[in-house]
Amino acid sequence: MTAPLRIAIAGLGTVGGGVAEVLLERGQDLAERAGRPVKLVGISARDRNKSRKSDLSSIAWFDDCRALATIDADVIVELIGGEDGPAYELVKAALGARKHVVTANKALLAHHGSELAALAERNGVALKFEAAAAGGIPIVKALRESLLAYGIDAVRGILNGTCNYILTKMEATGQSFGDVLAEAQKLGFAEADPTLDIGGGDTAHKLALLSSLAFGAAPDLSLITVEGIEHITPEDIGYAREFGYRVKLLGIARRTADGIDQRVQPAMVKAGTPLADVEGPFNAVVAHAGAAGPFFLEGRGAGEAPTASAVIADIMDLARGDVGPVFGRPAGTLKPLRAAPPERRKSAYYLRFQVLDVPGVLAEIAGHLAQSEISIQSMVQRARSPGEAVSIVMITHESPQGAVTRALNAIAASDKVTGRPCMIPMEAG
Ligand SMILES: NC(=O)c1ccc[n+]([C@@H]2O[C@H](COP(=O)([O-])OP(=O)(O)OC[C@H]3O[C@@H](n4cnc5c(N)ncnc54)[C@H](OP(=O)(O)O)[C@@H]3O)[C@@H](O)[C@H]2O)c1
């Protein structure tokens, strides 16, 4: 066998603890598959005295994670998290010291991906991140290496397990968003501060990376429009079911005639299609690979074992000598994406208005929609309750987002309309 691949891990929490355990317990099998031993030689975390899942007492400990960049290691595995701070400093130091880096840190790469890719390339080392997008699903490798022949037209997916868990639970129980979120936090399915998850930011980080791989561009968060799931009500989910759809938070990057359309938003996904059927904390990605057609991958997007599995896959690639470019092509050739203007996006829309049940309200809404040339495919107004607030729900024919938004702004200004109208795009699945 050739020389061992020496690994150092920074961060021994959920993911780092899992990776250390696999390296220690399955080392023999990994060595046989890689054709060389894969050896854990250094570790760092915040608290040396914290009890860890595995016995790590024989592995060299470093209080300052940045010191790992200076030791005799071939690969630094960054599993601390955060877009800046110690994770960023460590990765920069490691790449600068000509050490390969493996990370699960989507925030870091979404913010600093092109700079770090260039640094890796200048130093002739790899920066791998399979675990950073959709956890255990091997979508990074698929987009970087497997689906090249015909190019990628679109990548769409459910990339945040917390949101999918909340939406699935709201559908199953009829509970409100707030109640399900509180329950998810108690069960450990949602963070104490869930903002990044429920607001769509985490999905945007992952989408920026997938988009970069798919379209040969530098990751650029500023080009992604982001909307979370906080405003979704059990009523919306109930209507979705009635119309034959399910509400999912999607990350979508799609090539259009106007440029690349990138967005994170709740969408009504046609029931019975693969994305609509993704339940609970699972993630899934559909990659539309030109003439090769769509590919659908589903699996666990988070948690110790799925994420550790993706990190180990990157380590195994490095053990076999695969040090290809970070985003699938040389960093210098990553172009800025030409972003499609959001107002020109075309979709059918679900619209829900909270209105006072008074004469003329429907005519007023219809008038504003007609003025913006939006035609209605179907409409539901359930119970009548004169003088009280009731919901009116409409599905439009395919229309430009800008025109729908204009009409909704005019409708929202009416004294017969209470609250902000809800607008959710329909997705074929
Ligand atoms: N958890 C998942 O399911 C999942 C899925 C996909 C991607 N990721 C990504 O994986 C990364 C790690 O996530 P995680 O869930 O494993 O986080 P975690 O459980 O909170 O663990 C973080 C680890 O980093 C250590 N740490 C914090 N500050 C440090 C510092 N200055 N120097 C050295 N170590 C430091 C902590 O030390 P102590 O243990 O001593 O406190 C802890 O071991 C993040 O980028 C995350 O986005 C996680």
User: Residues with beta carbon inside 6 Å of ligand 1?
Assistant: 10-16, 44-47, 50, 65, 79-81, 86, 104-106, 131, 135, 302-303, 307
What ranges in 146-250 are assigned the alpha helix state H? Answer: 161-173, 177-187, 195-198, 201-215, 234-243
Dist CA 365 CA 387 (whole Å)? 17
Determine the atom of ligand 1 nearest the C-alpha atom of 18: 16
| Closest C-alpha residue for ligand 1 atom 30 | 46
Q: What φ, ψ does residue 400 adopt, rounded to 5°?
A: -70, 140
In which domain, by residue range, is 405 found? 345-427
Q: Using the structure block, give the residue that is written with the tokens 């020389």.
A: 3
- If you average pLDDT over residues 383-393, what whole number do you get? 81
Same domain, 20 and 120: yes
Assess if residue 323 is contained within a domain. Answer: no
Same domain, 21 and 120: yes
Residues 38, 1: contact at Cβ < 8 Å? no
Q: Which residues does the annotation mark as catalytic?
A: 206
| Closest C-alpha residue for ligand 1 atom 5 | 302
Q: For residue 296, what are the CA distances in angstroms to 60, 204, 261, 302?
A: 42, 20, 20, 18
User: What band does 428 get if pLDDT is binned at 50, 70 and 90?
Assistant: confident
User: What band does 26 get if pLDDT is binned at 50, 70 and 90?
Assistant: very high
Same domain, 51 and 181: no
Q: Is the pLDDT of residue 1 over 60?
A: no
Same domain, 271 and 239: yes
Same domain, 291 and 402: no
CA of 104 to the centre of ligand 1 (A): 9
Q: Is the pLDDT of residue 191 over 60?
A: yes
Q: What is the pLDDT of residues 50-71, one digit of tens each?
A: 999 999 999 999 999 999 999 9
Residues 6 or more apart in contact with residue 1 via CB below 8 angstroms: 31, 35, 36, 37
CATH code, 357: 3.30.70.260
Q: Is the pLDDT of residue 383 over 70?
A: no
| Closest C-alpha residue for ligand 1 atom 20 | 13
Same domain, 292 and 380: no
Determine the atom of ligand 1 nearest the C-alpha atom of 80: 24
Determine the atom of ligand 1 nearest the C-alpha atom of 50: 40
| Closest C-alpha residue for ligand 1 atom 4 | 302
CA of 307 to the centre of ligand 1 (A): 12
Dist CA 243 CA 95 (whole Å)? 52
Q: Is the pLDDT of residue 401 over 70?
A: yes
Assess if residue 161 is contained within a domain. Answer: yes
Q: Is the pLDDT of residue 429 over 80?
A: no
Assess if residue 103 is contained within a domain. Answer: yes
Q: Say how many domains are in the chain.
A: 3
Q: For residue 25, what are the CA distances in angstroms to 19, 30, 315?
A: 10, 10, 15
- Tell which of 132, 157, 188 closes a domain: 132
- Tell which of 299, 324, 358 closes a domain: 299
| Closest C-alpha residue for ligand 1 atom 19 | 13
Q: Is the pLDDT of residue 122 over 60?
A: yes
Q: Using DSSP bridges, classify how beta strands 259-270 and 225-226 pair: parallel, antiparallel or unpaired.
A: parallel
Average per-residue pLDDT for the chain: 95
Same domain, 95 and 193: no
Mutate which of 106, 307, 309, 311 for ligand 1? The one with the most ligand atoms within 8 Å of its CB, which is 307
Same domain, 211 and 152: yes
Residues 6 or more apart in contact with residue 219 via CB below 8 angstroms: 109, 110, 113, 114, 208, 209, 211, 212, 327
Dist CA 403 CA 424 (whole Å)? 14
Same domain, 294 and 169: yes
Residues 417, 396: contact at Cβ < 8 Å? no
| Closest C-alpha residue for ligand 1 atom 23 | 11
Q: Is the pLDDT of residue 382 over 80?
A: no
Assess if residue 17 is contained within a domain. Answer: yes
CATH code, 216: 3.30.360.10
Assess if residue 277 is contained within a domain. Answer: yes
Q: Using the structure block, give the residue that is written with the tokens 């309750």.
A: 385
Same domain, 43 and 166: no
Assess if residue 313 is contained within a domain. Answer: no
Same domain, 201 and 220: yes
Residues 130, 138: contact at Cβ < 8 Å? yes
Same domain, 94 and 176: no
CA of 68 to the centre of ligand 1 (A): 16
CATH code, 12: 3.40.50.720
Mutate which of 46, 48, 101, 129 for ligand 1? The one with the most ligand atoms within 8 Å of its CB, which is 46
Determine the atom of ligand 1 nearest the C-alpha atom of 132: 7
Q: Is the pLDDT of residue 250 over 90?
A: yes
Dist CA 121 CA 324 (whole Å)? 9
Mutate which of 9, 12, 15, 137 for ligand 1? The one with the most ligand atoms within 8 Å of its CB, which is 15
- 422: β partners: 352
What is the model's pLDDT at position 187? 86
Q: What is the pLDDT of residues 266-323, one digit of tens each?
A: 999 999 999 999 999 999 999 999 999 999 999 999 999 999 999 999 999 999 999 9
Q: What is the pLDDT of residues 61-98, one digit of tens each?
A: 999 999 999 999 999 999 999 999 999 999 999 999 99
CA of 390 to the centre of ligand 1 (A): 47
CA of 108 to the centre of ligand 1 (A): 13
CA of 16 to the centre of ligand 1 (A): 7
Determine the atom of ligand 1 nearest the C-alpha atom of 90: 32
CA of 132 to the centre of ligand 1 (A): 12
Determine the atom of ligand 1 nearest the C-alpha atom of 105: 45
3-state secondary structure (DSSP) of residue 45: coil
The residue among 395, 362, 369, 385 whose CA lies nearest residue 242 is 395
CA of 182 to the centre of ligand 1 (A): 23
Residues 292, 130: contact at Cβ < 8 Å? no
Q: What is the pLDDT of residues 322-351, one digit of tens each?
A: 999 999 999 999 989 999 999 999 999 999
Q: Using DSSP bridges, classify how beta strands 5-10 and 389-396 pair: parallel, antiparallel or unpaired.
A: unpaired
Assess if residue 221 is contained within a domain. Answer: yes
Assess if residue 168 is contained within a domain. Answer: yes
| Closest C-alpha residue for ligand 1 atom 34 | 45
| Closest C-alpha residue for ligand 1 atom 21 | 13
